[in-house]
Amino acid sequence: MKYSRLFILLFVILAAMGVKAQETTEHVIWPVLGKNDTIRVAATNDGGYMIPWIALQEVKIMGLRIWRSAADQAAFNRLRYNVLKVMPYALYAKRRYEKLERDLALVNDKKTQKKLVKECDNEIKKMFNTEIKELTITQGQILTKLIDREVGRTTYDIVKQTKGGFAAFSYQLVARVVGHNLKTTYSATEDKDIESIIVNSGYYQQ
């Protein structure tokens, strides 16, 4: 008896679903396809009319910038050169730091965590000794801004989290001697020229 009731209930549900599906598709008007309409696209039911659509990539339209003087244009060109010079390092720092966070989240052993941090630190130092040390003071200042932009934390905060407060303080002292500040933050509003250069650089194009 119980099984028969269950069967009847299931039959009623399926029948109702079939009627509902029929109601939603019976009165739908589809567009007339041409012989060249061979690409499958999404469609939206708009009052009984199926409207085909396709998602497009975002297109950014930038106005032509007019410079007040040749000196202003030359300054912007120097800034653009410096930003594009250090941008790969900022992106590398972002990827490496994200990898470190993923690796640390998978282990609970303090010894293993210290090993992971040391490996990351050695990689950063290796890059510093071979490439970053050749950067100018201006390029170094821009790099600290871009690291904050990409990672969401200042260089000082990253060192403090991974190496401790004393190491961050020591690194900051050395940085200040050569004209850097590891606590430098990035603002898309205040650093609008840098933001404009990055947006148009092609680094984030899919």
Q: pLDDT digit string (tens) for 93-120?
A: 888 888 888 888 888 888 888 888 888 8
SS3 115: helix
SS3 22: helix
| Domain definitions of the chain by residue range | 87-199
At 19 the pLDDT is 47
Mean pLDDT of 108-134: 78
How far is 43 from 52, CA to CA, in rounded Å? 4
pLDDT tens digit sequence for 160-193: 776 778 777 776 776 676 666 777 888 888 888 9
How far is 135 from 141, CA to CA, in rounded Å? 10
Question: Do 183 and 159 contact (CB within 8 A), yes or no?
Answer: no
The pTM score is 0.61
Question: Do 171 and 165 contact (CB within 8 A), yes or no?
Answer: no
How far is 156 from 30, CA to CA, in rounded Å? 59
Please enumerate in sequence order all residues whose Cβ is within 8 A of that of 135, keeping only pairs 6 or more positions apart, or say none.
85, 86, 143
